[in-house]
């Protein structure tokens, strides 16, 4: 079917669906198609205030009408297309109830309930003299409703009073009201019940910070007097007379007990307890060093109880990574106004191992398999140290033009995380999170039987810390990577002649440098914000200090070496910014991304190391182009379709922009519409890749693609399938032909429709 005919067919289906949704209704049934809210005022009310009230009222309406697609209730049409199945399973039931959507009716009871909720909402917002009316319209068995609110001027706060007796509690509350920046109830502000509740919560939170462990927001009463005149109210914040004595007094920490190996069915006696740095540690099996808890816990004997330290200790214990359950209980101590803290810590499994096996088949006739084994020890030296060892091995076989080529990969990597900073200098970290020192060591082998063998040894030493739940920083002062080629076959050596890009991909590389990474994600803290943001910035430098001291300058023949091998010298910067716009529901959003990077090689290097270069194309990049093959600039690799080996196209500069609309289709299935734009460029002229250099006309070399996708969200993972195609290409096709979109051509579809299968969202 031609693409134009397919579009026509879809439009006809939608048209039919829009006309066929009421004939299945009974005589006394009317399809609810929506509601409208209006605000009329007898007093002074601004245009923005009226608009805000209208939006608030509309948001309260229940139920919501059936969903529409291009104005048609397609899901309702699907529901009506199938008779009621006899069983609550099978294809018919799935089609009717999982894909389809039953008709929405609006009863008088639900309409009246909406009216009452709206009127109550207006009262809570300070519109005490208000009324809401209902007006319904029925046409062709379709019902719509209009809610009209008639309101007077909003009431404002005239004055606020707090308890002023001589009790300790009243004095503490008075102290919290002095800071006007923190107080929610302020004279001249509009009356709002939600603000009064927020002030109750603020008072309780402040008291919790000053020892009032047993206090509750329910003990606060707000007396509102609306007879002050001129649409104003007086508010008197007071304490309930029934408030118990224990809630009126501050409490202090006396003793802290830590059960380090707690089992809900086990013994909670103090057998085997030992004192350490003021704490009572119960660890009969000596699984943990006591110093862990003096570093992690915040409360000490004699401290005033406060909620911040309460949560801080729990958070630090959880972030140690060795406990699956953490609980604290406070009980009255053996002296007046004291609390004993009991920490019950249930360790997770100390050791674990995970196996993962995968199979693959590529479009270049390659088939293979890979095995990954991950082993971890969460308490290596009894100090909550985490050791992970990952080993991988794989084999891939490719048959092309009757020639067989085998690819063997193998590697092992060990990472050790120590829950503290081990450094000769100080790093400013938040006390809410346990910082880590990370040591890494790895070895990788890549053997392509018909071409070459690459071996790589890497090692690093660095720090990971958080100053809030939304931010994380990583500093790796020492990062070493050495790559060595071997067993280069004569045929492959001949192919390197004149091909600088391919030669760079297997050259000797000795990288000694430092890396700093900063990450911010507002989504790390669950929220319902309309706007959320993500930023990741990375600075990667190599060989700069040694290159400066040694006077390295390879362009002048002054190449310097370490251990007989030339070292790289460069600065690499990258920034990734993302914006997530919530469009009203958790599953509907408009998301944008901008990723930019630049690498600058100098001194002892003429070009960036291949493993540090930028690439374009792939499942989370420009999805309408094959992975790592786009560009650089307007360069077109005429051999990109050959199946002997794929040639990646590195660049020194990268720009990538993406916009993606995401929404729920049904059940666990989501869909997406997206467009990507970007490319990579080289900083210097590359004779082997004409058109690759970044210049003032770089915008004309930006590639653009578009596509659609499905996402299967099963909570533990998201399986993603995207199909994309180029909209604009930065190069001329062989023969100088311009690129054009032609869905009707099977050859065009074969060459340009790119399928991407991946785990997780692209960003």
Mean pLDDT of 311-318: 94
Among residues 634, 615, 632, 629, which one has the least CA distance to residue 701? 634
pLDDT of residue 87: 86
User: With bands split at pLDDT 50, 70 and 90, how would you rate the model's confidence at 253?
Assistant: very high
The ranges of the chain annotated as CATH 2.40.160.50 are 614-763
* CB atoms closer than 10 angstroms to residue 322: 22
- Give the chain's count of helices (H) and strands (E): 13, 29
Mean pLDDT of 674-700: 93
pLDDT of residue 559: 86
Among residues 593, 484, 591, 479, which one has the least CA distance to residue 542? 479
Provide CB contacts within 8 A for 639, sequence distance 6+. Answer: 647
The phi-psi region of residue 277 (left if phi > 0; otherwise alpha if psi is between -120 and 50; otherwise beta) is left
Q: In angstroms, how far is CA 123 from the centroid of its own chain?
A: 39
Of residues 236 and 559, the one with the higher pLDDT is 236
Distance CA 701, CA 528 (A): 39
Residue with tokens 């509907």: 588
* CB atoms closer than 10 angstroms to residue 371: 13
Distance CA 664, CA 583 (A): 12
Mean pLDDT of 276-285: 93
- Share above pLDDT 70 across residues of the chain, in percent, rounded to a whole number: 93
* CATH code at 614-763: 2.40.160.50
Q: Which of 16-25, 602-611, 739-748 has the lowest mean pLDDT?
A: 16-25
User: Sign (positive/negative) of CA torsion 11, 15, 18, 20?
Assistant: negative
Yes or no: say if 150 and 130 are a contact pair by the CB < 8 Å rule. yes
Whether residue 644 is predicted with pLDDT greater than 50 in this model: the reply is: no
Residue with tokens 């040639």: 647
SS3 of residue 191 by DSSP: coil
Torsion of CA 312, 317, 319, 325, to 10 degrees: -120
User: With bands split at pLDDT 50, 70 and 90, how would you rate the model's confidence at 410?
Assistant: very high
Among residues 712, 706, 707, 705, which one has the least CA distance to residue 759? 712
The ranges of the chain annotated as CATH 3.10.20.310 are 156-248, 252-347
Provide CB contacts within 8 A for 167, sequence distance 6+. Answer: 248
Choose from 23-27, 291-295, 686-690 the range with maximum mean pLDDT. 291-295
What mean pLDDT is reported for the chain? 89
* CB atoms closer than 10 angstroms to residue 2: 9
* Residue pLDDT, tens place only, 607-641: 888 889 999 998 899 999 988 889 899 998 765 55
Of residues 370 and 291, the one with the higher pLDDT is 291
pLDDT of residue 399: 55
Residue with tokens 């790390």: 524
Distance CA 193, CA 439 (A): 54
What are the two backbone dihedrals, phi and then psi, of residue 474, each rounded to the nearest 5 degrees? -130, 125
pLDDT of residue 491: 81
- The strand pairing partners of 96, in sequence order, are none
pLDDT of residue 406: 82
Whether residue 601 is predicted with pLDDT greater than 60 in this model: the reply is: yes
Q: Which helix H or strand E contains 679, and what residues bound it?
A: strand 669-681
- What DSSP state is assigned to residue 81? T
User: With bands split at pLDDT 50, 70 and 90, how would you rate the model's confidence at 404?
Assistant: low
Among residues 614, 619, 612, which one has the least CA distance to residue 597? 614
CATH number for 156-248 (one of 3.40.640.10, 3.40.50.300, 3.20.20.150, 3.10.20.310): it is: 3.10.20.310
pLDDT of residue 8: 52
How far are the Cα atoms of 320, 423, 435, 540, 743 from residue 426, in angstroms, in the given order? 21, 7, 12, 21, 61
* CB atoms closer than 10 angstroms to residue 488: 13
Torsion of CA 662, 666, 669, 673, to 10 degrees: -30
What tokens appear for 581 in the block?
A: 């716009």
Yes or no: say if 532 and 523 are a contact pair by the CB < 8 Å rule. yes
pLDDT of residue 643: 43
What are the two backbone dihedrals, phi and then psi, of residue 141, each rounded to the nearest 5 degrees? 60, 25
Distance CA 435, CA 440 (A): 16
Whether residue 500 is predicted with pLDDT greater than 90 in this model: the reply is: no
Distance CA 285, CA 288 (A): 9
- What DSSP state is assigned to residue 61? -
Distance CA 122, CA 105 (A): 26
* Residue pLDDT, tens place only, 692-723: 999 999 999 999 999 999 999 987 788 899 99
The phi-psi region of residue 239 (left if phi > 0; otherwise alpha if psi is between -120 and 50; otherwise beta) is beta
Mean pLDDT of 505-520: 89
pLDDT of residue 2: 52
pLDDT of residue 642: 41
* CATH code at 252-347: 3.10.20.310
Torsion of CA 60, 66, 69, 71, to 10 degrees: -90
Of residues 638 and 363, the one with the higher pLDDT is 638
Mean pLDDT of 344-369: 79
Q: Which helix H or strand E contains 53, and what residues bound it?
A: helix 47-59
User: With bands split at pLDDT 50, 70 and 90, how would you rate the model's confidence at 292?
Assistant: very high
Helix boundaries (H) for 253-367: 291-296, 307-319
Mean pLDDT of 313-331: 94
Vertex 445: Cα angle to 756 and 389 (nearest 5): 85
- What DSSP state is assigned to residue 284? T
pLDDT of residue 13: 52
Distance CA 345, CA 327 (A): 7
């Amino acid at each position: 079917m031609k693409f134009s005919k397919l579009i026509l067919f879809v439009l006809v289906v939608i048209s039919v669906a829009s006309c066929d949704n009421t004939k299945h209704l009974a005589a006394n049934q009317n399809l609810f198609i929506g509601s409208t809210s209006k605000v009329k005022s007898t007093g002074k009310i601004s245009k923005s205030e009226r608009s805000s009230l209208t939006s608030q009222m509309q948001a309260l309406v229940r139920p919501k009408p059936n969903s529409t697609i291009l104005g048609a209730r397609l899901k309702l049409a699907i529901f009506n297309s199938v008779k009621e199945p006899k069983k609550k399973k099978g294809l018919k039931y799935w089609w009717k109830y999982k894909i389809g959507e039953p008709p929405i009716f609006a009863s008088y009871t639900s309409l009246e309930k909406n009216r009452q909720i709206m009127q109550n909402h207006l009262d809570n917002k300070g519109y005490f003299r208000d009324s809401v009316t209902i007006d319904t319209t029925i046409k062709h068995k379709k019902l719509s409703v209009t809610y009209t609110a008639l309101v007077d001027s909003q009431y404002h706060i005239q004055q606020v009073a707090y308890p002023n007796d001589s009790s300790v509690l009243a004095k503490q509350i008075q102290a919290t009201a002095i800071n006007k920046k923190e107080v929610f109830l302020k004279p001249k502000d509009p009356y709002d019940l939600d603000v009064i509740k927020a002030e109750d919560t603020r008072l309780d939170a402040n008291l919790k910070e000053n020892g009032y462990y047993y206090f509750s927001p329910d003990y606060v009463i707000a007396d509102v007097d609306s007879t002050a005149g001129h649409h104003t109210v007086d508010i008197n914040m007071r304490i309930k007379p029934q408030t118990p004595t224990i809630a009126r007094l501050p409490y202090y920490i006396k003793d802290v007990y830590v059960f380090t190996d707690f089992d809900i069915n086990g013994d909670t006696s103090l057998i085997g307890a030992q004192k350490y740095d003021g704490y009572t540690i119960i660890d009969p099996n000596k699984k943990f060093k006591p110093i862990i808890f003096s570093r992690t816990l915040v409360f000490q004997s004699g401290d005033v109880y406060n909620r911040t330290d309460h949560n801080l200790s729990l958070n630090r214990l959880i972030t140690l990574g060795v406990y699956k359950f953490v609980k604290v209980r406070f009980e009255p101590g053996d002296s007046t106004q004291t609390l004993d803290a009991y920490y019950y810590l249930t360790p997770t499994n100390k050791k674990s191992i995970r196996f993962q096996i995968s199979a693959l088949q590529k479009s270049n006739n390659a088939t293979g398999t890979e095995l990954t084994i991950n082993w971890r020890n969460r308490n290596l030296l009894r100090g909550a140290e985490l050791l992970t060892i990952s080993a991988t091995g794989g084999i891939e076989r490719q048959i092309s033009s009757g020639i067989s080529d085998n690819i063997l990969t193998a590697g092992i990597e060990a990472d050790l995380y120590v829950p503290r900073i081990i450094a000769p200098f100080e790093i400013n970290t938040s006390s809410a999170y346990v910082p880590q020192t990370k040591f890494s060591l790895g070895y990788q082998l890549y053997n392509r039987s018909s071409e070459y063998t690459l071996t790589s040894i890497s090692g690093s030493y660095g720090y990971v810390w958080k100053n809030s739940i939304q931010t994380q920083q990583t500093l790796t002062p020492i990062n070493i990577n050495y790559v060595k080629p071997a067993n280069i076959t004569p045929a492959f050596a001949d192919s390197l002649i004149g091909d600088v890009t391919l030669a760079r991909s297997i050259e000797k590389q000795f990288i000694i440098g430092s890396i700093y990474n900063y990450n911010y994600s507002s989504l790390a803290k669950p929220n319902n914000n309309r706007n959320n943001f993500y930023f990741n910035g990375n600075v990667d430098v190599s060989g700069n200090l040694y290159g400066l001291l040694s006077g390295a300058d390879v362009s002048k023949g002054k190449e310097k070496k370490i251990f007989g091998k030339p070292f790289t010298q460069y600065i690499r910067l990258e920034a990734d910014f993302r914006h997530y716009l919530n469009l009203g529901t958790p599953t509907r959003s408009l998301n944008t991304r901008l990723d930019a990077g630049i690498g600058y090689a100098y001194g002892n290097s003429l070009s960036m190391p291949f493993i540090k270069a930028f690439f374009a194309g792939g499942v989370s990049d420009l999805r309408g182009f094959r992975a790592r093959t786009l560009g650089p600039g307007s360069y077109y690799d005429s051999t990109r379709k050959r199946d002997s080996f794929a040639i990646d196209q590195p660049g020194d500069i990268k720009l990538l922009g993406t916009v993606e609309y995401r929404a729920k289709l049904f059940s666990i299935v989501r869909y997406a519409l997206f467009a990507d734009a970007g490319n990579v460029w080289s900083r210097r002229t590359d004779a082997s890749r004409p058109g690759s250099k970044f210049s003032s006309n770089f915008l004309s070399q930006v590639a653009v693609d578009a596509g659609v996708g499905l996402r299967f969200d099963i909570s533990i993972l998201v399986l993603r399938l995207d199909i994309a195609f180029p909209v604009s290409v930065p190069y001329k096709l062989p023969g100088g032909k311009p690129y054009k979109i032609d869905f009707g051509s099977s050859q065009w579809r074969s060459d340009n429709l790119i399928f991407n299968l991946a785990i997780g969202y692209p960003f």
